[in-house]
Structure 1
Amino acid sequence: MSQIFKSKNEPVWLKESHQMRSNRSVQIGKQSIDQLIKNGNPITYTTIAEQSKEIDPEGKGIHPNTIRTNSELYEYYKQHSKTYKQKKNSKNTVFNHSISREDLEFSKIKPSRNPDNLRRKYMKLTKEELVQRLILAEEYIAENNTKWVTSFFESFK
């Protein structure tokens, strides 16, 4: 069980100290990001932390978690980081590849599939992928209908 200490006398010096450290982190972080951009290096938490040690007069630098927790520095990081943008953009992307007849084996599809899972799977596909899949399904159905009709009439001979 955790207890929260509530004091009526909040120390002003603590807020001032925290604000000074926060401002120092923002300043060093922004300088590090600018230096990385100038050198053409990728903007990641690790590279910022390493660069900050070189820039910091004290040699301490900033911790990678400081970038995440300091809102002003985090916004500056998001503006300049290509890896952040890639990660953000790759969340909803589906790998676009053309579907061939060999990839889809319609004869192995079971009739007792879960419709919710199937719907979720199809919702992830792009419009082009759905159209391609529908065309292949119709071709498969048409070929099998032709085979069935042919075998049905051959059975009467």
Structure 2
Amino acid sequence: MSQTFNLKNEPVWLKESHKRRSSRSVQIGKQSIDQLIKKGDPITYTTIAELSKEIDPEGKGIHPNTIRTNEQLYEYYKQHSKTHKQKKNSKNNTFNGSLTNENIEFHKIKPNRNIDNTRRKYLKLSKEELVQRLILAEEYIAENNTKWVTSYFESFK
């Protein structure tokens, strides 16, 4: 036998408890956001939740999901967060970890590859990933130039 929840039978103490907890979350969340602004730290769900544990007299703090679900707190968060409005280049970003010479095989790049596909692939990468890839490519070129010059002069001996 299943029991259905009826809003008419909702206890009054439950509404009061919910209202009290909601206002506590708003108060602690706003204090956390204000302190992060003063410090100059980024305002993200995680940083707010971490700082709220320090601010909260009970030591509980608030959960990151509380920021999303509490309308007042979410509006306050959106007003002050710079990361809220940022858009990632792509949700299905192919980058997974740091780039090293081992996982980029420059020697396998073909000169007759499809440039449009390559361009699309690079547009999906973030600026940081592109810079890292460019640095690795320059290192690869410099190493191979050194090897080529060395072997060229050794061939005259």
Q: TM-score, normalised by structure 1?
A: 0.54
Tell me what 1:39 maps to.
39
Runs (5+) with no aligned partner, structure 1: 92-101, 105-157
CA distance in 1: counterparts of 2:67 and 2:3, whole angstroms: 28
1:7 CA drift (Å): 5.5
Percent identical residues: 80
Partner of 2:71: 71
TM (norm. structure 2) is 0.54
SS of the counterpart of 2:85?
helix
Distance 1:36 1:7, change over 3 A: closer
**RMSD over aligned Cα atoms:** 2.4
CA change 1:80–1:16 in 2 (3 A) is: same
SS of residue in 2 equivalent to 1:82: coil
Deviation of 1:25 after TM superposition, in Å, equals 0.1
- Alpha-carbon displacement from aligned partner over 1:91-121 (angstroms, at most 9, x marks no partner): 8xxxxxxxxxx946xxxxxxxxxxxxxxxxx
Mapped partners of 2:79, 2:44: distance in 1: 12
Cα gap change, 1:12/1:45 in structure 2, threshold over 3 Å: closer, same or farther? same
Paired residues in the alignment total: 94
**2:4 equivalent to 1:4:** yes
Query: Structure 2 stretches of 5 or more lacking a match?
Result: 91-113, 117-157
Shift of 1:8: 3.4
- What amino acid is aligned across from residue 58 of structure 1 in structure 2? E
Aligned position for 2:26: 26
Deviation at 1:6, TM superposition (A): 1.4
Aligned-pair CA distance for 1:90: 6.0
Give the CA deviation at 1:9.
2.7
- Structure 2 CA distance for aligned equivalents of residues 74 and 8 of structure 1: 29
Give the C-alpha shift of residue 3 in structure 1: 5.9
Per-residue CA deviation, residues 57-103 of structure 1 (Å, 9 max, x unaligned), is 1110000000000011001111111111113x868xxxxxxxxxx94
Runs of 4+ in 1 over 4 A off after TM superposition: none
| Paired letter, 1:71 | E
Distance 2:80 2:49 in 1: 15
Residue 83 (structure 1) aligns with: 83
**Separation in 2 of the partners of 1:58 and 1:73?**
19
Structure 2 counterparts to residues 1-157 of structure 1, below 5 A: 4-6=4-6, 8-87=8-87, 103=115
Partner of residue 116, structure 1: none
